[in-house]
Amino acid sequence: IYVWDMDETLILLKSLLNGTYAEPFNGSKDIQKGIELGKCWEKHILHVCDSFFFYEQIEDFNEPFLDSLAEYDDGRDLSDYDFNKDGFDDANKKKLAYRYRVIAEKYAQGLHDVLDEEATKLWDDVYNLTDSYTDGWLSSARSILQQKRVNVLVTSGALVPSLVKCLLFRLNDLIIYSSWDVGKPQCFAWIKARFPKTRFCVIGNGIEECQAAEAMNWPFLEIDMRPHRFPGLSMRTIKLYTEVVY
């Protein structure tokens, strides 16, 4: 099982917004162009979150994974349910579970059924511009994920915006854990319990996932922002790192 840090490993956003992605290129990358691309992504992410994923209602009620509230969901038919008039508050776990059930369904379906033609074209244009600006970082990451059957993503961000990021960055229907409230060691423990008797490899760029991997005795492969990763990372390299430990 490959456990990926999502932020600044598979998906670039913060480093575009603050210009740090372009810094190692010593002037050959236009920093302002990266910042503008990052702002476009922020706008798209917030729009999709608020329009289709109840984010205005549940922003303060982050969950670590999509089915963490399954025990509160009674399976009610929600086809005619009015989410704007059900009196939702943080004390009602059942109503929160309803929202997360719909979020899970929309996440599995993807965005092509909910975005209109104009929004889809804009989304595609921003993706292609960003992939070009980053020398294929996004498409390379997507290609590597497609080579393996099971990939698990761990994000330090809130769950719902992270789900939307995955959809917008074309990393569809992947298992995601949010360490926002619980930390990455707890997420790694859940992943280990979910996939018993399995070998793991962690891939990321931060100290927290590195330390969590070490605590689990899992190999850790660091992704840095210098021009050789992504692209440049291959499954052969990942397997070599894994074999050193196992």
Q: What is the DSSP string of the chain?
A: -EEEETBTTTB-SHHHHTSTTTGGGTTSS-HHHHHHHHHHHHHHHHHHHHHHS-HHHHTT---SSTTTTGGG------TT--TTSS---TT-HHHHHHHHHHHHHHHHH-STTTS-HHHHHHHHHHHHHHHHHTTSHHHHHHHHHHTSS-EEEEESS-HHHHHHHHHHTT-TT-EEEE-TTT-HHHHHHHHHHHSTT---EEEESSHHHHHHHHHHT--EEE--SSTTSSSS--HHHHHHHHHHH-
Quote the pTM value: 0.92
Band (234; pLDDT cuts 50, 70, 90)? confident
Band (236; pLDDT cuts 50, 70, 90)? confident
Are 96 and 69 spatial neighbours (Cβ–Cβ below 8 Å)? yes
Mean pLDDT for 182-194 is 97
User: 2-245 architecture in CATH?
Assistant: 3-Layer(aba) Sandwich (3.40)
Band (32; pLDDT cuts 50, 70, 90)? very high
Q: How far is CA 136 from CA 95, 130, 196, 232, in A?
A: 41, 8, 34, 10
Domain ranges for the chain, please list them.
Answer: 2-245
Per-residue pLDDT at 226: 62
- Residue identified by tokens 């891939």 is 203
State CA 172 to chain mean position distance.
10
Residues whose CB is less than 8 angstroms from the CB of residue 184 and which lie 6 or more positions away in sequence, other chains included: 154, 156, 208, 209, 212
Q: Is 224 annotated as catalytic?
A: no
Cα(162)–Cα(59) distance, integer angstroms: 12
Q: Is 124 annotated as catalytic?
A: no
Q: Which of 5, 30, 50, 67 is catalytic?
A: 5
Q: Across the strands, what pairs with 177?
A: 154
* pLDDT value at 26 more than 90: no
What are the tens digits of pLDDT across the range 101-132? Answer: 999 999 999 998 889 999 999 999 999 999 99
Residue 116 annotated as binding? no
Residue 135 annotated as binding? no
Mean pLDDT for 171-190 is 95
Burial status of residue 146 (CB atoms within 10 A of its CB: 0-12, 13-18, 19 or more) = exposed
Are 224 and 232 spatial neighbours (Cβ–Cβ below 8 Å)? no
Q: Which of 7, 50, 86, 116 is catalytic?
A: 7
Per-residue pLDDT at 231: 61
